Structure 1
Amino acid sequence: MDKIVRKFEPITLVGGAPLPEGALARAIVHAPDIVAADGGAAPILRQGLMPQAVIGDMDSLSGKLKATLPASVIYEVAEQDSTDFEKCLMRIEAPLIAGLGFLGGRLDHQLAVFHGLMRFAGQRCLLLGENETVFLCPARLELPLDAGTPVSLFPLAPVRGAMRGLKWSFDALDFAPGHRIGTSNEASGPVSLTMNAPAMLCILPAHCFEIAFKALREQPGSWPARA
């Protein structure tokens, strides 16, 4: 599929859910190029910024708002087989995406976003919400967390993981929805995670966004794109 946005540095992607106070300013310190998923253009414009691209089916972008955007930044994707978040993941190529406006809001939308992280695991993405930062675990990751930091692992499909540096650590443990999850753990110091499949969500407190961003940015490689 042709890419709309190609960057050698991380980008910020903004969706339509409410943004935490200061989240956009916080993200663009690390990822200054901004892309909107459909109606995510509204909070970008309200903060006096301009997205480099607006990608989606445009069902939540009002005519008035659309008229304030240069036609050159609007990329309408009419198909309904994917969400606007997935449309963006398919059409962005960057080492890392900082995703805002995808946590909180409607629960069904949030679940669809988690599905998108797994479906398009080849494009690494870190989500920042009001209380949490969430990402799909890569094959290996080192997180320099402080002791006592809450760490939750939630499988979206069967996955085997090794976890070190947690209160409850394991050299190899099988996880699966309806079988075993790994929520409500905590760091005892720096954490090392190893996964055998792109199927594990890592959920950290929102204040860990910068730590997770740096760790994901520096971790080489990514999951292969799905056929």
Structure 2
Amino acid sequence: MARCIIITAYHTGKIKDSYLPMPEDFIICADAGYLLARQEGITPDAVLGDFDSMERSQVTCPDIIRVPVEKDDTDTLLCLKYGMELGYRDFIMIGGIGGRLDHTIANIQTLLYAHNHGVLMEMADAQNTARVLSPGTYHLKEKKGYKLSLFSLNEACTGIYYTGLKYPLQNATLTNDFPLGVSNAFVCEEAKITFATGTALLILSKD
């Protein structure tokens, strides 16, 4: 099935530098993400939000979903849930990195929510990509100029092995209170990461 693209209200750089658009993408804008999309000539399929950062009258879209300002879910999480209701299982969250730290952490939690509900989700802007990993083996193609970081989202990730990276690990443990996995570098065209237990956050970032 096609992907669901969620454009958040905060983005540095150009949206089209964050991912490669495909004709079959279903695009949802989270509140003022609509304004960012329209600046680049992107027409969303749906706009969802409490419209606390723009006027409802500014929106021209076939599917407009207004939600209360006072609610438990963020606009971005509601966009994810809406896409899941439509049957999408592959998501890209555009932006949502930087600006207010609480919003960034909320978006990382949204990645974890997607992961825990069995759907794929990546968060991306012009400088970063992030996704949540379960135990297993992952082959990662080198992205020129990007550093690789791995963080434990629970108390610990164990049985970690790195190959193809400047700082290799062998049967290591990453904990959530010490940033051992930050800012590694590719030394091969492909790196391999394996871990046995835990839930990890994988981030690729460039300056």
Q: TM-score, normalised by structure 2?
A: 0.79
Aligned to 1:225: none
Q: Distance in 2 between matches of 1:197 and 1:116?
A: 21
Aligned to 1:108: 102
In structure 2, runs of 5+ residues without a counterpart are: none
Tell me which amino acid in the other structure corresponds to 2:164: G
1:10/1:30 contact within 8 Å kept: no
Tell me which amino acid in the other structure corresponds to 2:182: T
1:17 equivalent among 2, 10, 14: 10
Q: Distance in 2 between matches of 1:185 and 1:100?
A: 24
Aligned to 1:117: 111
Aligned to 2:202: 202
Structure with the higher fraction of residues in helix conformation: 1
**More off after superposition, 29-38 vs 186-195:** 29-38
Inter-CA distance 135–174: structure 2 relative to 1 (3 Å threshold)? same
Aligned to 2:65: 75
Inter-CA distance 146–88: structure 2 relative to 1 (3 Å threshold)? closer
Matches within 5 A, 1:29-178: 29=22, 32-66=25-59, 68-70=60-62, 73-78=63-68, 80-93=71-84, 94-121=88-115, 122-139=118-135, 140-145=137-142, 149-158=146-155, 159-160=157-158, 161-178=160-177
Inter-CA distance 148–15: structure 2 relative to 1 (3 Å threshold)? closer
Q: Identity rate of aligned residues, in percent? A: 25
1:163/1:191 contact within 8 Å kept: yes
2:111/2:122 contact within 8 Å kept: no
How far apart are 1:38 and its partner, in Å? 1.8
1:104/1:129 contact within 8 Å kept: no
SS of the equivalent of 1:109 reads: helix
Inter-CA distance 82–194: structure 2 relative to 1 (3 Å threshold)? farther
Aligned to 2:180: 181
2:111/2:123 contact within 8 Å kept: no
1:166/1:188 contact within 8 Å kept: yes
Inter-CA distance 31–100: structure 2 relative to 1 (3 Å threshold)? farther
> After superposition, what is the alpha-carbon deviation per residue over 1:134-181, rounded to whole angstroms, capped at 9, x for unaligned?
222244421122688521112222223333322222343222221453
> After superposition, what is the alpha-carbon deviation per residue over 1:6-57, rounded to whole angstroms, capped at 9, x for unaligned?
xx12232100003412536843148733111122111222333321122233
Tell me which amino acid in the other structure corresponds to 1:204: L
1:12/1:31 contact within 8 Å kept: no
SS of the equivalent of 2:123 reads: strand
Q: Distance in 2 between matches of 1:36 and 1:198?
A: 32
Tell me which amino acid in the other structure corresponds to 1:170: L
How far apart are 1:77 and its partner, in Å? 3.5
Q: Kindly report the root-mean-square deviation, in angstroms, between the aligned alpha carbons of the 2 structures.
A: 2.8
Q: TM-score, normalised by structure 1?
A: 0.73
In structure 1, runs of 5+ residues without a counterpart are: 1-7, 208-227
How far apart are 1:105 and its partner, in Å? 2.0
> After superposition, what is the alpha-carbon deviation per residue over 1:44-78, rounded to whole angstroms, capped at 9, x for unaligned?
22333321122233333413313x333xx112343
